[in-house]
Amino acid sequence: MTREELFGQIRQKKSYLCIGLDTDIQRIPKHLLQKEDPVFEFNRQIIDATRDLCVAYKPNIAFYESLGAAGWESLAKTLAYIPSGHFTIADAKRGDIGNTSGLYARAFFDTLNFDAVTVAPYMGVDSVKPFLEFEDKWVILLALTSNQGSNDFQMTPQENGQPLFEKVMRRAMEWGSPEQLMFVVGATHPEKFQEIRAIAPEHFLLVPGVGAQGGNLESLSRYGLNEMGGLLVNSSRGIIYAGSGTDFAEQARTAALTVQQEMARLLT
């Protein structure tokens, strides 16, 4: 999916919601465990209930690979079921020496046909470049994450006083354009969005941490939105586990609708 196509989806749906399919077989409603593929059945119903309210889906790969071959099959079926107009993100956080990164890129872009994959930048340019060589595919680089441990390294001041995450962003912008490179910026750091937009005014930002992790949508949107949108705000547990009974999909839709309606207001 191209940048312009993604912007078009945001404008059409008045939404920049990404729904994280962090599907834990130990948390899904018990009645689904009778199904042949409980994980896919859960995802299918979530997608049916929310497809008109979001522009992207983001399976976290750990929830699938923890189940072995069956999990990878559930993931492949889920991807095939997601409507073609939605942006798909493999939340895999890969990144290794060049030839290994090339194989990771082939796995997620060619074999599974995701639109984007999250990548860890710690090993530098040769670990990221292989992901940038695929046409109309995206690298979503970890910059300032939403977890508590983000302060351990990402906020460490460098020689000129700028925190490490800023150095990562500025260097990575030399590797890829706004047409193929996004940054992960956690919603739990709303005070940083103004300076992040000053560094990267045109790049998309993938923003986790809204919902269960406590991020505030209005605060981050005030400075994170650009003139064409430019944000994908992810909510996982707050939507997909909004209910735990037989009406879990309806409860997920209600939760997603609440977020989408606020996004529509913030986009005007």
Q: Which is higher by pLDDT, 39 or 151?
A: 39
Q: How confident is the model at residue 251 (pLDDT cuts 50, 70, 90)?
A: very high
Q: Which domains does the chain have, with CATH numbers?
A: 3-267 (3.20.20.70)
47 has pLDDT over 80: yes
Q: Which is higher by pLDDT, 155 or 45?
A: 45
Q: CA geometry: angle at 261 spanning 255 and 263, to 5°?
A: 105
| pLDDT mean over 109-136 | 96
Please report, for residues 82, 104, 219, 248, 267, the alpha-carbon distance to residue 46 in angstroms, rounded to integers and kept in the order given: 10, 28, 27, 8, 25
What are the catalytic residues? Answer: 93
Q: How confident is the model at residue 214 (pLDDT cuts 50, 70, 90)?
A: low
Percent of the chain with pLDDT over 90: 81
Q: How confident is the model at residue 38 (pLDDT cuts 50, 70, 90)?
A: very high
> Mean pLDDT across the chain, nearest whole number?
94
Token code pair at residue 162: 């700028």
DSSP codes joined into one string, 146-195: SSTTHHHHTT-B-TTS-BHHHHHHHHHTTT--TTTEEEEE-TT-GGGHHH
212 has pLDDT over 60: no
Q: How confident is the model at residue 213 (pLDDT cuts 50, 70, 90)?
A: low
Beta partners for 98?
Answer: none
Give per-residue pLDDT as tens, 147-190: 888 888 877 888 888 888 999 999 999 999 999 999 999 987 88
8 has pLDDT over 70: yes
Q: What is the pLDDT of residue 216?
A: 84
